[in-house]
Amino acid sequence: MNVRTLVIEDEPLALRTLTDFAKEFAWLEIIGTASDGLSAVRLIDELQPQLIFLDVQIPEITGLEVLRRIKYQPFIVFTTAFDDYAMTAFEFEAIDYLQKPFGLERFRQTVERVERRIKTVSVQSVQGNNE
C-alpha cells in the first residue's frame, strides 16, 4: 500500500522534518510539496494525493481556505504551531493535528492513525462494492 502524500509547509525546517520523518515509512510516498496556499490548491487538485500534511498559517491563503477551495478531498493531517485551529481541523474531518514542534514518536503515532483510517475506508469501499 503506497499512500500518495503532499506536504504543504512554508517553513523550510518544518518541511524538511516532515519529509525526513515520512521517509521512515516506506508506504508514504511524497509526491510533492507546496509552500503557499494557492500552490497547494493547484497541486492537490492536479496530483490528487491520498494524504496531505497541511500547515494552517501559510502565505497567500490559509490552510483552512485551501480546504474550502479544493475539489479533490484527501485525508488531512494538520501541522501547526498553534492550538487555536484544532476544533476547526476536526470539522474538516482531519485525521490528526500535529502541533509543532513534534518529534518522530508523535509523528509515528499520527502515521499509525493514518494507516488505520485508510485501511478502514478501503475495507468499507470493498464491502460496499460487494453488496
Higher pLDDT, 26 or 85: 26
Tens-place pLDDT, residues 75-115? 999 999 887 877 887 789 999 999 999 999 999 999 999 99
Strand locations in the chain (E) = 3-8, 28-34, 51-55, 75-80, 96-99
The C-alpha cell of 89 is what?
481541523
Tens-place pLDDT, residues 114-131? 999 988 876 565 455 545
Query: For the sheet containing 75-80, what is the strand order?
Result: 28-34, 3-8, 51-55, 75-80, 96-99
pLDDT at residue 98, rounded to an integer: 94
Q: Of 18, 15, 42, nearest to 28 (Cα)?
A: 18
The C-alpha cell of 85 is what?
485551529
